[in-house]
Amino acid sequence: MIITIARQCGSGGHEIGKELASRLGLELYDRKKLEEEAKKLGKLDENKEFFQEKAVNSLLYSIAVSYGESNPMEKSFELIRELTQQKSAVIIGRCSGAIYANDPEATTVFLHADKDCRIKRINEKKAAKLIKEVDEKRASFHKFCTGKEWEDANQYQLSIDTGKLDISDAADMIINYINAKNIGQKHL
């Protein structure tokens, strides 16, 4: 089982991911864990910008495309697959929803909330600015890596407004969705 979580800044995505991993006995692959695992394989340096969700500049992208590489991030996508291969995991960010979009064992989730709720959840003086910067960075990175709009609900199986739920209830909703999905697939 793979659960991917894309999330707006301040939507509680990391906390919900930790809750899901704990309850379901899954490994949690966040940026820190992915970087640790890549380092063990000697592949951290070549994927550092990917793990930090930085889009490569357009000149490098153009060069890569001119050499026939349709997505210069495909090597990083393959690394994510390699690191999580044969594992049950919750993967936070890193375009994991796109990476596992065609995997029948994967559940792709997008977490969002209204700005006021996210500002309260972060509880920092500069929360509004941080939210804007992080969300813009994530949207740009996702668009660069996948060619798709990050907040487009059509690319996720489940989209949840976490401003209306606490962390535990959001985790319950995801677990209930997975259970219902699994029952539905057995009837097909």
Residue 22 has pLDDT above 60, yes or no: yes
Rg (CA), the chain: 17
10 Å Cβ neighbour count for 157? 18
Residue 24 has pLDDT above 50, yes or no: yes
- Report whether 34 contacts 84 (CB < 8 A): no
Q: Of all residues in the chain, what percent carry a pLDDT higher than 70?
A: 88
pLDDT of residue 82: 93
The model's pLDDT over 60-112, given as tens digits with 9 standing for 90+, comes to 444 444 445 555 678 889 999 999 988 999 999 999 999 999 999 999 999 99
10 Å Cβ neighbour count for 167? 18
pLDDT of residue 188: 53
Using CA atoms, how far apart are residues 180 and 157, in angstroms rounded to an integer?
12
The HSE-up count of residue 94 (CA atoms within 13 Å, CB side) is 33
pLDDT of residue 101: 94
pLDDT of residue 11: 95
